[in-house]
Amino acid sequence: MRAYGVNTGVGALADTVVDRASQSLLSRSIVLSHACGVGPLLAAREVRAIIAAGIANFAHGHSGVRREIVQHLAALLEHDCIPDVPSKGSAGYLVHNAHIALVLIGEGSAHLAGRRMSGREALAAIGLEPLVLGAKEGLSLVNGTACATGLTAVALSRAERLLDWADAIAALTLEAAGCQIAAFDAAVLALRPSAGIEKVGATLRARLQAAALSPPPSAGARRMRLAFVRCRMRMGVAHDVFDISARVVDQELASVTDNPAVSGTPEQPIVSSEAHAVAPALGQAADSLAIALAQLGAISERRMDRLVNPLVSGLPPFLASDAGSHSGFMIAQYTAAALSNENRRLAAPAAMDGGLTSGLQEDFLAHPTAAAGKLLAVIDNAEYILAIELMAAAQAQDFLAATAARAAGTDLVYQAVREHVSHYGDERPLNGDIEAVCSLIRETAPPL
């Protein structure tokens, strides 16, 4: 019986029979030849997530690998031994996985306790010997959607925190802009059924409770109020898209995702070729969330622009403490706009990319790994954009402190940012403040 990747070659070589004596060599060769990634290394958190998703896939028992494979992968996590995985090269799923598999067979390189070493040295340091792969194990190690699933899971974790901060920061900005709380009334929001809009509305009402919100006096300020109402609707949609994307990743983690699938018994094995390693739903989920978060960043940049814009803000121009000799947040808004524009380009869907590979054997590529990588890049930018808005909102609040008290919920947000950066008076480079506040958003939850 011929079984793809077990006793045949892979891809366009699927018709080439491999005898039993060469099947271990086939597995090793698959790992070595597929480890052709390029570019900067993935972060340790991302590599760990890929390994964890691979373990979940193998644990279903349909991959045809020995227990030792899973034990070695689990040991990498236990000892925080991080294989060096280049970030670029996977049209689908193969390359990143292969670089992890390299370490299991004593090849490649890894980082352990802050030191880079060969795969063989890394295994020895955690008390393991390199594996000699059996039939299909090489294919199983590079196959499946562990890479895209792990990266998208990391993105979801970061996006969840980002969404929470976006709502909290919006409340601080809305308060500084003097918006009307009636715009967030539950009955009004319920006219458009959306769990995300309902959640954002509830958060804003809780944050702004007892806030001294009032209609700004000028026509420009009225335009600001209408723009903020539109922004709130789109923020809710981002929550909805997040929930949908999370369900897709949960589904992926519950699935067998390598090809072929193995079942039956040792005496009567069943090897079933299928396409579960292709993950169009996962790619589309990552693409959708990237679009939603790119919009979220664009909304944040527009809110911040209205705080610094003297034509509509009613605040000191560009939130400068001495407009003219000081520029305040004028150029910080440029940075936010640049990052927002970059996110617009990154939001182009990877799932629509083409590409025929393996001598026409693979005529459809879903590009879930590329979609996950773009999503992570969008989140990087969105975190910076929101950090800049948070700084601008806190600066605006400083100018308003003598005339209006903050609500308890927004004061918590204000105090959190002021613990990391002080009022800006053009006396220091602004990029250090941006990095500090971005770390606050990236590493902690908004205060409640």
**Number of C-beta neighbours around residue 222 at 10 A:** 13
Quick check: is 384 catalytic? Answer: no
Taking each helix axis from N to C end, the angle separating 94-104 and 23-34, rounded to the nearest 10 degrees, works out to 120
Cα distance between the two ends of the chain: 62
| H/E segment holding residue 40 | strand 38-41
Which has the closest alpha carbon to 263: 423, 95, 61?
61
* Three state DSSP letters for 372-432: HHHHHHHHHHHHHHHHHHHHHHHHHHHHHCCCCCCCHHHHHHHHHHHCCCCCCCCCCCHHH
**Number of C-beta neighbours around residue 24 at 10 A:** 15
| Residue 98 to residue 33: CA distance in whole angstroms | 8
Degrees, nearest 5: CA angle 224-436-320: 45
Which has the closest alpha carbon to 104: 83, 77, 80, 134?
83
Phi, psi (5° rounding) for residue 115? Answer: -120, 135
Q: Tell how strand 269-272 and strand 261-264 pair up.
A: antiparallel
| Residue 34 to residue 99: CA distance in whole angstroms | 8
| Residue 189 to residue 21: CA distance in whole angstroms | 68
What are residue 116's DSSP bridge partners? Answer: 111
| Residue 342 to residue 381: CA distance in whole angstroms | 8
- Number of residues written out for the chain: 448
Among positive and negative, which fits the CA dihedral 57, 61, 67, 68?
Answer: negative
Which residue in the list 4, 384, 414, 424 is annotated as catalytic? 4
Residues annotated as catalytic (active site), given as ranges: 4
